[in-house]
A and B are shown apart, each in its own frame.
Chain A
Amino acid sequence: MSEPLLSIRGLRAKVDGEDGEILRGVDLDVQRGEVHALMGPNGSGKSTLAKVIAGHPAYEVTAGEILFEGEDVLELEPDERSRAGIFLAFQYPAEIPGVSIANFLRTAVNARLGEGEEMDVFGFQRTLTEKMEMLKMDPGFAARYVNDGFSGGEKKRNEILQMAVLRPALGVLDETDSGLDIDALKIVASGVNRLSEADEALGVLLITHYKRILNYIRPDRVHVMMAGRIAESGGASLADKLEAEGYDWLHRAVAAV
C-alpha cells in the first residue's frame, strides 16, 4: 500500500498550560481518496483532534506524531500546514468584520502561489463564482464580510466554499453538519461529494456527532472516538450500529480494557 495521506501515531495532546490529556494515544490512517467519518460522544476529543491536526496554538502535543504525505507536520505553523494541503472546516468559524470573502480568499489563494504568480482579479473571480454556484450561494455573498452576521448554515457553506477554492489534499470537517437544517445539510454534503468527485485523491476526515450527514456522504471508514483515543473502527455499517445502539456498548467495552 502507498504511504497514507494522513498518518497519526500515538498522538497525545492537552490544552497548553493545563493538566489532563484530551488526546490519549490516537492512531489513525487516511489514504488518498478516502472518506473517513470520525464519530463519538461529546467530549471524546474529536474536535481537539481536528484542531491539533490544523496546528491550533492553544494545544500542546505531548507525544506521538502526525505525518502528512509522509512529513511530520507538528513543527509546522498553521499557515504552513494549510499551504501543504491540510484544510480544517471549523465548527465555529471566526467572524472577520471588514474583510470581504472575496478579498480574504484571494489573499489565501495568492499566499500559496509564488511571488509574481498571483492570480489576477478576473481569474480569481471566475473560480469563485463557479464554486459559489456549486454551493448554491448568492453571488452577492462574496462581497459580505467573512462570517459576520452569518446564519449557522451560511457559515458552514462558507467553510466548504473555502475548501473548494483552496483545493486541499486533506479536508478535516469539524461538525460541519451541526446546526444545519436538512436542506442546508444536503447542499453542504453535495458540495463535499462534488469536491471528492473532482479530485479523486482528496482525503476527507468528517467529524460528526450524528449519523445524519452519513446518509449523504458515504464514508469508506468509520471510527469511534472515546476518551481521547479511537475505540472502534469499521466500515460504513458501524455508523448504523451507533445510530441504533448509541455509544453505551462502546463505553462498556472501553471500560473493560
Chain B
Amino acid sequence: MSTMTAGPAESTLAAADFDTLAGGLTEPEAIAEARTAAWERFTALPWPTKKSEEWRYTDLAKVGFEALTPVVPAPATAEALPADVRDVLGRSGERAGVVVLREGRVAHLELEAGVARSGVVLCSIRDAADRHPEVLRRALLEAQPGPAEEKLWALHLALLGGGYFLYVPRGVEMPAPIHAFHIVERAGTLSSAHSFVYGESGARAAVIDEFLSGDLDAETVSLHGATITGEGGAGIEYVALQRFGRGVKRFSTQHVTAGRDSRVVTFNVALGGDLSRADITSRLDGPGSDSEMLALWFGDSDQHFDHHTLQHHAAPHAHSDLLFKGALTDAGSSVFRGLIRVDKGAQLTDAYQTNRNLLLSEGAHASALPNLEIEADDVRCSHGATIGQVEDGQLFYLMSRGLTRRQAERLLVFGFFDEVLGRLPMEGVRARVREAIEEKIGL
C-alpha cells in the first residue's frame, strides 16, 4: 500500500479543491497546466440541465458527482496482467501491444519489440507529457467539444493524468491492434482516462479500448476522452468496447481529426453500466478524408445509453458515413442525437447518417434525433432513423425450429447487428467485439 502515500488525499468532489486533487503528485508541466485551467473552468461552469437539447433525455442531475471520490492517477506501475485480461487476450488473436489501466493509472504496458523498433511509441499520458508535450497540448486543444459538453470535458481534463499515448510515425503500418483495458474497481470513485491515438501520414493503426468492471455496489463514474488523429493518408481503426458492470456511469468524449485522404473508423459498443454516454465528433479536416462512424448497443434492465454525434465537414471532397444500431429490452432506454454539419467551403461533401433501433419489450424506449446543418450548396447528405420491433414472421420461423422466444429474439438482434459488425475492417477486432456482444446477449 506504499503507493497510497504518494497519491492525492481522498475527499469527495464537493469538498475537493485543486490542491487536494493534486496533493503529493509531481506531474509534467503540460499536464499540470491543462489540469489547473480545466479545474477553474469546471468550478465556474454550471452543470447542463435537461433544458439543454443535448441533455434532454439524459438527466445529469441524477448522477451524484458531488459525493464521488475523485481519483487522480498516480504514475505508471508495472503489474502482472489481471486474470480477466489474460483470459480475453488468450482468446483474442494477434496484437501489437497491451495496456492495462486501473482507474486511469497505467498498471501494465507492453509493445511488441518489432513494432517498437519501427518507431511506434506507446506510453502513459504522463510520459507523453514529458516527451511530446506539444503534440499532446495541440490534440487536447483541438478536441474541445461543444458548449453542452464543456462541463464534463473540463472535469475530465482536471483529472487528466491517466490514459495512454500511441504514436505511429509516418508510413508505419502496425500489423495488429493495440488492446487497452480500462478497469474500474473502486466503488464510489470518479476516475478518468484518456486515449491518445496519433497516426502520421500513411500510418496504419488499430486500437481496442475495452472498459470493464465488476458490478459495483455504489454509484461510480468513469470519464473517458479520446483524441484520434490521422494525418494525410493515414488509416486508423478505433474501437471502444464498453462492458462495465452495474453501478458504473460512463461518459466518453471522443474526437476524431481526419486529415487529407485519411480514413478513420470509430466503433462504439455499449453493453454495460447503468448509464453510458458517448459524445463523438469526427472532423473531416482535409480534402478526400473519410470517416466511418459505427456503433452498437444492447440495453436491458434499466440501462440507459446516449450517443451524441457530430460529423463536421470542414474540408471539401470528404466522405462520412455513420451507422448506429441499438437494441433494447426490459426497461432499457437509448438516445441517438446526431448532426451533420457542412461548412460553407466543404463542397462535394458526401455525408450519411443512419440510426436504427430494435425494441424487444413494451417497456423499452428509444429516441432518435438525426439532424443536418448545411452551408455548402453542392453536397450529398442523407439522414434517417427508424424504431421498430422484431417481425412476427421471423420470430415464428425461428421458433418453429425449436428456438425459444428469447433465443429467437436474441438471434434476430444478432442479425440486426451483423451489418455494422461486418464493417469493422480487422477480423481479430471484429471477433473480439462479436464475442463480447454474444456474452451480453446470451444466446
Residues of A within 8 A of B (CB): 54-58, 77-79, 81-83, 87-88, 90, 93-99, 103-105, 107-108, 111-112, 145, 162, 166
Contact of B415 with A145 in the complex, beta carbons under 8 Å: yes
Q: Are A79 and B403 in contact (CB under 8 A)?
A: yes
Check B132 for interface membership: any CB of A closer than 8 A.
no
Shortest distance from the beta carbon of A14 to any chain B beta carbon, whole Å: 18
Q: Which of A77, A90, A107 contacts B397 (CB 8 A)?
A: A90
Q: What is the interface size of chain B, counting residues whose CB is below 8 A from a CB of the partner? A: 25
Closest chain B residue to A85, Cβ basis? B402
Structural contact, A96 and B412, CB atoms closer than 8 A:
yes
Tell me, in angstroms, the Cα distance from A166 to B403 when the chains sit together.
Answer: 12
Decide: B399 and A99 in contact? CB cutoff 8 A: no
Contact: B400 with A111, CB < 8 Å?
A: no
The distance in angstroms between the C-alpha atoms of A111 and B407, with both chains bound, is: 9
Report B325 CB to chain A, min CB distance, Å: 10
- The 5 sampled A-B contact pairs (Cβ below 8 Å) are A79-B399, A82-B402, A107-B443, A108-B401, A162-B401
- Contacts A77-B405, A94-B393, A97-B418; is A82 near B412 (CB within 8 Å)? no
Additional A-B contacts beyond A79-B401, A79-B405, A79-B408 (16; CB < 8 A)? A54-B400, A78-B396, A93-B397, A94-B391, A94-B393, A94-B396, A94-B398, A96-B394, A96-B397, A96-B411, A103-B411, A107-B407, A108-B401, A111-B401, A111-B403, A145-B418
| Given A88-B400, A104-B401, A111-B402, A99 and B407 contact (CB-CB distance below 8 Å) | no
7 closest cross-chain pairs (CB), A and B: A98-B415, A98-B418, A94-B397, A82-B402, A99-B415, A108-B401, A78-B399
Q: A residues within 8 A CB of B392?
A: 57-58
B419 touches A (CB below 8 Å): yes
For the complex, what is the distance from the CA of A81 to the CA of B403, rounded to whole Å? 11
Tell me, yes or no, whether B416 is within 8 Å of chain A by CB: yes
The answer to whether B402 touches A108, judged by C-beta atoms less than 8 angstroms apart, is yes
Taking CB atoms, residues of chain B closer than 8 Å to A96 are 394, 397-398, 411-412, 415
| Least Cβ–Cβ distance between B82 and chain A, in angstroms | 28
Bound CA span A112–B414, Å: 20
Contact with A along B402-427 (1 / 0, CB 8 A): 11110110011011111100000000
Asked if A98 and B394 sit within 8 Å, CB to CB, the answer is no
Closest-by-CB residue of B relative to A83 is B402
Chain A residues with CB under 8 Å of B405's CB are 77, 79
A108 shortest CB reach to chain B, Å: 4
Chain A hits for B397, CB < 8 A = 90, 93-94, 96
Contacts of B443 in A (CB 8 A): 107
Are A166 and B398 touching (Cβ within 8 A)? no
Do B394 and A94 have beta carbons less than 8 Å apart?
yes
Complex Cα spacing A236 to B425, Å? 57
- Given A94-B397, A96-B397, A98-B418, does the pair A112, B402 have CB atoms closer than 8 Å? yes
Distance between Cα atoms of A90 and B419 in the complex (Å)? 26
Q: How far is the CA of A46 from the CA of B419 in the complex (A)?
A: 37
B415 touches A166 (CB 8 A): no
List residues of chain B with CB within 8 A of the CB of A111.
Answer: 401-404, 407
Bound Cα distance A83, B401 (Å):
8
Residues of B within 8 A of A83 (CB): 402
How close is B324's CB to chain A, nearest CB, in angstroms? 16
Task: Let me know if B404 and A98 touch, CB within 8 A.
Answer: no
CA distance A55 to B443 in the complex (A): 23
Considering only residues 128-186 of chain B, those with a C-beta below 8 Å from chain A are none
A104 touches B404 (CB 8 A): no
Shortest beta-carbon distance from B138 to chain A in Å: 41
User: How far, in whole Å, are A56 and B399 apart by their CA atoms in the complex?
Assistant: 10
Give the interface centre of A90, A95, A97, A99 by most chain B CB atoms within 10 Å: A99
Given contacts A56-B396, A93-B397, contact A99 B414 (CB under 8 A): yes
B413 to A, closest residue via Cβ: A98
- Whether the pair B400, A166 counts as a contact (CB closer than 8 A) is no
Cross-chain contact B400 with A104 (CB below 8 angstroms):
no
A56 and chain B: residue at smallest CB distance: B396
Q: Chain B's nearest CB lies how many Å from the CB of A5?
A: 18
Q: Which residues of B contact A78 (CB under 8 A)?
A: 396, 399-400
* Chain A residues whose C-beta falls within 8 Å of the C-beta of B396 in the assembled complex: 56-57, 78, 94
CA distance A90 to B405 in the complex (A): 19
Q: How far is the CB of B10 from chain A (nearest CB, A)?
A: 45
* A98→B416 contact, CB < 8 A: yes
Choice from A55, A56, A58, A166 contacting B401 with Cβ under 8 Å: A166
Closest-by-CB residue of B relative to A94 is B397
Residue of B nearest to A97 (CB): B415
- Interchain nearest-CB distance for A104 vs B (Å): 7
Least distance between A21 CB and chain B CB atoms (Å): 21
- Give the docked Cα–Cα distance between A54 and B397 (Å): 10
State A105–B407 Cα separation when bound (angstroms): 12
List chain A residues, Cβ under 8 A from B412.
Answer: 96, 99
Residue of A nearest to B404 (CB): A79
Query: How far is it, in angstroms, between the C-alpha of A41 and the C-alpha of B407 when the chains are bound?
Result: 37
Determine how close the nearest CB of chain A comes to the CB of B271; give it in whole angstroms.
18
Known: A56-B396, A111-B407. A98 touches B417 (CB 8 A): yes
